[in-house]
Structure 1
Amino acid sequence: MNVEEILTKSSFSMLKNKIDNRILSALKNMGLEKPTRIQAETLPHLLSNEDIIGAAKTGSGKTLAFLIPVIDKLVKLGFSRKHGVGCIILSPTRELALQTHQVLKKVLTNIDLSCCLIVGGEKKAKDILSLKKGVNIIVSTPGRLLDHLQNTENFNCNNLKCLVVDEADKLLEAGFEKEITGIIKLLPSKRQTILFSATIDSNVKNLARLAMKNDPIIVSTNDEKQSTVAGLQQGYCVCPVESRIPWLYKMLKKGRKLKTMVFFSSCKSVDFHYEFFNLHCKASVLSIHGRQSQARRKEAYQSFVDAQNGALFCTDVAARGLDIPSVDWIVQYDPPTDPKEYIHRVGRTARGLNNKGNAVILLRPEEEDFVNYLKEEKVYLDKYSFGDPPGDVQEMLEDLVSTNGVVKTLARKAYLSFLRCYKTHPMKNIFNIKTLDLKLAAKAFGFLEQPHVDFLKSSKKHQKLDKPDPL
């Protein structure tokens, strides 16, 4: 079996007699017949028990690329509950861990292997009960897993056969290096290690050296000519800061029968815009950000997965790994921290084989040069025009902020957060607070008069702003 053979036949059925038939049946029931490029290129190595570093664009099918060989290995080894943990899968966020766990359960439909989800925000007692019963495959975030490895009695990992590190670059960006190092030290060294990442940089290679005893096979399907998938149509729209709310209203109205994700730079901005559009514009909107409870995030995520249309307002907590079906539009209402984060945001659409999607980023006239930075990363945007935004929406917002105390408080917090994000933006040559008219920016949050913000004075004393929001 080789890559060319899989790609030529372009069907999972060619793996008959190579992997358990129940896995093939589950894939067929999931509507999956053809492997993606990353699956075709990594499966031969993974089924041969080799360590691997796999790099592919977001939305390319990395999850099944590691789930198929992991499940097949444990089935062939005859794993049951009494054998304990055979595989651990590390994810950077609770949402991605939940999603991986859901896909895992679908593949295990007719296979007698046990699995569980272990993430922060859930009760530890529930985890401990599952672990005591015996779990073969664990999907977890690093902090909670390390806690159990260090403190939970009878947590049996002695028979571990495989460690999967998913979205390795994001795990490192999120500051989990210490936890991952601690986990690796507590796991058996004789195992297969699988590391997947959207990109392979020096930090990811250092992590691989720590996690892998053998020299890994490196597989990359990233297209050097283009950093985003071929089915993605993307562009930018230049909009004055004071016209942002009417622009977004028009965008959502035009796409009311579509499924849209809108990215904001802070939790407070998500809360404010959610309040305005959901309760006062009667738009079909959900929200996800890092300051919500785990239960609320889980509910919103599942609701949006099941939805046929509507919008999800979110921070970059939703930018990595989440596989939400049929997302038509990605709207970057607030700028990403860098071109890399732009790529991860737009990766929520046009996912899988032959899928298509659309993306647009909103830029102030002073920020248009960001498009050239994207070109350097092999991301090419068209310039879009959405026409004149409706003025009555701005009037409605201004009336609400003037008369509704709840909306006014949310607006002020969002405004301060918006300024903080500009003040601390890594790309200050493009997203620069000095080029931002604070009074016009306040209008974008419904204020007729700019709230008192002692932000930048000639004396160079800066306003004390809120601490950064979690994602």
Structure 2
Amino acid sequence: MDVNKIVAESSYAMLEGKIDNRILHTLRSMGIEKPTRIQAETLPHFLLQKDIIGAAKTGSGKTLAFLIPVVDSLIKFKFTRKHGTGCIILSPTRELALQTFEVLKKLLSDIDLSYSLIVGGEKKVKDIMSLKKGANIVVSTPGRLLDHLQNTQEFNCTNLKCLVLDEADKLLEAGFEKHVTGIIELLPKNRQTVLFSATIDGKVENLAKLALRSNPVLVSVSNNTQSTVAGLQQGYYVCPVEMRIPWLYKMLKKSKKLKVMVFFSSCKSVDFHNEFFRLHCKANVLSIHGKQSQARRKETYLSFVKAQSGALFCTDVAARGLDIPSVDWIVQYDPPTDPKEYIHRVGRTARGLSNTGNAVILLRPEEEPFVDFLRKQNVYLDKYSFGDPPGEVQEMLQQLIENNGVMKVLSRKAYLSFLRCYKTHPLKKIFDINTLDLKMAAKAFGFLEQPHVDFLNKRKKKT
């Protein structure tokens, strides 16, 4: 059986009579005619109520792979508000939960099923009111869901039909293992459970054993020869540390009409670069990171989704699961912690069927071995040339830091957090702080004189 041929020739129209026609009509109105491979391969097992482990790269269409059969299943079970919650979808981040919720809303535009988004940062009273009315589908993050399962009497999930664990590897990486275990113990055992993950490691396998019934179906659509999607053009640019801001200025200027995501290693670095480029370079920039309020993160995310062009400065809080339409470029300004994080970052572009995108990572000359390291993980980078960055931008930055007290404070915090990220980087042989010229690194943040750093080269006190 040629699975690739079957997927290539399949369409959602072929499912008429098997899936509720209202779902198919909504998919057509969303411009979705063909299933992605993960959707085509998981759907038959999902409709047979089997437990599933779905392994697929980011950007492969996992959200609709579970939302379509979940909605169809609850329609067939004739769920109404009085039945309570029939499906719980667990997401590792509020942004991913919000994104799933937005897709769910579109899918239910002509269908009378109730739904609720339950995440941290929102008022619990609002959650309780929604649960009390009867939310058939609940999209939630682990902490808030466990809280309601333990403390909200109005949360009726005795009729639960399905539990979806989305981005299971990220759920565990984010330290939610105890929360997820607690949730599983409190839910009805007689249910279907579906686990989706970009990677399947020992921790994910243990979670699968705990959450799923025996003999789950494993659906893997990973390509062993390449770890990133085919439509992605990716490369690296060797850039001395002190030339990074002029390079980014040139990059943003050349891609003014495009959509760009720029990844930084810390929240403070996002704040500093956002302030500099937005206020002082008049660039079309938004920012998102984990220390912002939930309301601000939500507003920024939705604004960038709707935007036709512009840049989003972000930390790895935006690296997982977020489906932002038409991202043209991914810029890794600071290095990722490991190849997996690299893959998740670049996965924000070239998403879905027949989509293309571009990615570039900035590396210092000493860090070029990272290219060989990625090659061993089946990630292949070209060497890019962008021409000389404009020197006047660096001069403007240095004058700004010298004369503007607010920017000087922001810059110092960003510089120190940049050094801390290097000091604690897991790949120390490549991203080695001992090979970093601290004076040149300070110049990258606009300092003519290197700020005092008290956490490097500390001598042990004599006892």
Q: Same fold, TM exceeding 0.5?
A: yes
Secondary structure at 1:359's aligned position in 2?
A: strand
How big is the shift at 1:422?
0.3
In the alignment, which residue of structure 2 is the partner of 1:431?
431
In the alignment, which residue of structure 2 is the partner of 1:219?
219
How big is the shift at 1:339?
0.6
CA distance in 1, matches of 2:136, 2:345: 33
Q: Is the 8 A contact 1:3 1:44 kept in 2?
A: no
Flag the 1:232–1:4 CA change in 2: closer, same or farther, 3 A: closer
| One-letter code aligned to 2:258 | L
In the alignment, which residue of structure 1 is the partner of 2:422?
422
In the alignment, which residue of structure 1 is the partner of 2:72?
72
How big is the shift at 1:460?
5.5
What value does the CA root-mean-square deviation take over the aligned residues?
Answer: 1.2
CA distance in 2, matches of 1:21, 1:355: 27
CA distance in 2, matches of 1:33, 1:3: 18
Q: Deviations over 1:359-383 (max 9, x none)?
A: 0000000100000110011000000
In the alignment, which residue of structure 1 is the partner of 2:285?
285
CA distance in 1, matches of 2:367, 2:376: 16
CA distance in 1, matches of 2:333, 2:228: 19
| One-letter code aligned to 2:281 | C
In the alignment, which residue of structure 2 is the partner of 1:90?
90
CA distance in 2, matches of 1:5, 1:315: 39
Secondary structure at 1:358's aligned position in 2?
A: strand
Q: Is the 8 A contact 2:128 2:154 kept in 1?
A: no
How big is the shift at 1:452?
1.2
Flag the 1:12–1:51 CA change in 2: closer, same or farther, 3 A: same
CA distance in 1, matches of 2:300, 2:460: 42
Q: How does 1:214-363 map to 2 (within 5 A)?
A: 214-363=214-363
How big is the shift at 1:20?
0.4
CA distance in 1, matches of 2:380, 2:213: 40
Q: Deviations over 1:399-449 (max 9, x none)?
A: 110000110000000000000000000000000110001111000000000
CA distance in 1, matches of 2:60, 2:390: 38
Q: Is the 8 A contact 1:162 1:194 kept in 2?
A: yes
Secondary structure at 2:185's aligned position in 1?
A: helix
Q: How does 1:153-192 map to 2 (within 5 A)?
A: 153-192=153-192
In the alignment, which residue of structure 2 is the partner of 1:46?
46
| One-letter code aligned to 1:223 | N
TM-score, L = length of structure 1: 0.96
Q: Is the 8 A contact 2:225 2:378 kept in 1?
A: yes
How big is the shift at 1:455?
3.8
Q: Is the 8 A contact 2:288 2:313 kept in 1?
A: yes
CA distance in 1, matches of 2:3, 2:76: 23
How big is the shift at 1:153?
1.5
In the alignment, which residue of structure 1 is the partner of 2:381?
381
CA distance in 2, matches of 1:332, 1:9: 36
Q: How does 1:434-453 map to 2 (within 5 A)?
A: 434-453=434-453
Q: Is the 8 A contact 2:146 2:183 kept in 1?
A: yes
Structure 2: which 5+ residue stretches go unaligned? none
Secondary structure at 1:7's aligned position in 2?
A: helix
Q: Deviations over 1:312-343 (max 9, x none)?
A: 00000000000000000000000000011000
| One-letter code aligned to 1:260 | V
Q: Is the 8 A contact 1:6 1:14 kept in 2?
A: no
CA distance in 2, matches of 1:3, 1:92: 31
| One-letter code aligned to 1:391 | G
CA distance in 1, matches of 2:9, 2:436: 56
In the alignment, which residue of structure 2 is the partner of 1:390?
390
Q: Deviations over 1:61-118 (max 9, x none)?
A: 0000001111111000000000000000000000000000000011111111000100
2:403 is the alignment partner of 1:403? yes
In the alignment, which residue of structure 1 is the partner of 2:128?
128
Q: Is the 8 A contact 2:366 2:430 kept in 1?
A: yes
Flag the 1:452–1:349 CA change in 2: closer, same or farther, 3 A: same
How big is the shift at 1:4?
7.4
CA distance in 2, matches of 1:238, 1:9: 43
How big is the shift at 1:10?
2.0
Structure 1: which 5+ residue stretches go unaligned? 462-471
CA distance in 2, matches of 1:89, 1:398: 48
Q: Deviations over 1:263-306 (max 9, x none)?
A: 00000000000000000000000000000000100011011000
How big is the shift at 1:155?
1.1
Q: Is the 8 A contact 1:85 1:137 kept in 2?
A: yes
| One-letter code aligned to 1:306 | K
CA distance in 1, matches of 2:126, 2:418: 39
